[in-house]
Amino acid sequence: MPHILHLDASARPGLAGKDLHGSHSRNLSQRFVSQWLALRPDDTVTYRDIGQNPPAFISHDWIAASFTPEAQREPWMHDTLAESNQLADELIAADILVIGVPLYNFGMPAALKAWIDQIVRPGKTVNIDTGNPETPYTALLADRPRHAVILTARGGIGFGRGGELEALNHLEPALITALNFIGINQVHQIAIEGQEIGGEVLANSVALAHRQIDALVQGLSQAPEPELIAEPA
């Protein structure tokens, strides 16, 4: 039975169309999860609002603790890594990662970058073998099929693949690089554009994104169970 980890990274707490200055990315992620549960009500979801409750930034102590083998860690190191362990364990348990995230100043919000830094962990989500310089990294989340669904809202237009401003979009490329690095390689992207323009431009973009989300939910939710969720050996 698939398990979803649902993240929202927008600094806006409300929903677009319902709240003043509401979040379009939250609308997209909520639509995906609600549509999924309508089709598969027995599936489970873990929700984490990192936009309103951002993870801690990594520190000198965090780096020292994470690069110390677990058997050699001192008590303070375990305390330092407690939040990271919880966030990483939530991701490890998930079969589908759903991220609602706005494009801020050409990249991801600081809260999402903090989450990435907490879950990319030596010995937890990736193994590092410095004695093997040709292939030093082993992605630990490649143990079974996992999907990531990135649902993005952008103020301008032309930031998508093939758009005239694609080179200025450092959100999805950086996020996908990090997810691929730890073994999540099946990534789906849907975005709306034109928040700052509004009107028909935004309305048409939102309508298209909703249709794409509905189609993606239908496709993934009806995939054969072994293909979507393969049990680890």
Beta-strand pair 147-153/96-102: parallel
Give me the helix-helix angle, 172-182 and 110-119, nearest 10°: 10
C-alpha 153: how far from its chain's center?
14
Q: Does 24 carry a binding-site annotation? A: yes
Residue position matching structure tokens 């993240």? 7
Contact 88, 119 (CB under 8 A): yes
Smallest CA-to-CA distance from 157 within 194, 109, 199, 203 is with 194
Q: Does 66 carry a binding-site annotation? A: no
Q: Each residue of 193-206: b (16+ CB within 10 Å) or e?
A: bbbeeeeeebeebb
CA distance 80 to 179: 23
Phi, psi for residue 101 in degrees, rounded to 5: -150, 130
Phi, psi for residue 219 in degrees, rounded to 5: -65, -50
**Residues forming beta bridges with residue 49, ordered by sequence position:** 8
Q: Does 25 carry a binding-site annotation? A: yes
Q: Each residue of 32-59: b (16+ CB within 10 Å) or e?
A: bbebbbeebeebebeebbbbeebbeebe
- Residues annotated as binding site? 10, 23-25
- Residues annotated as binding site for FMN? 10, 23-25
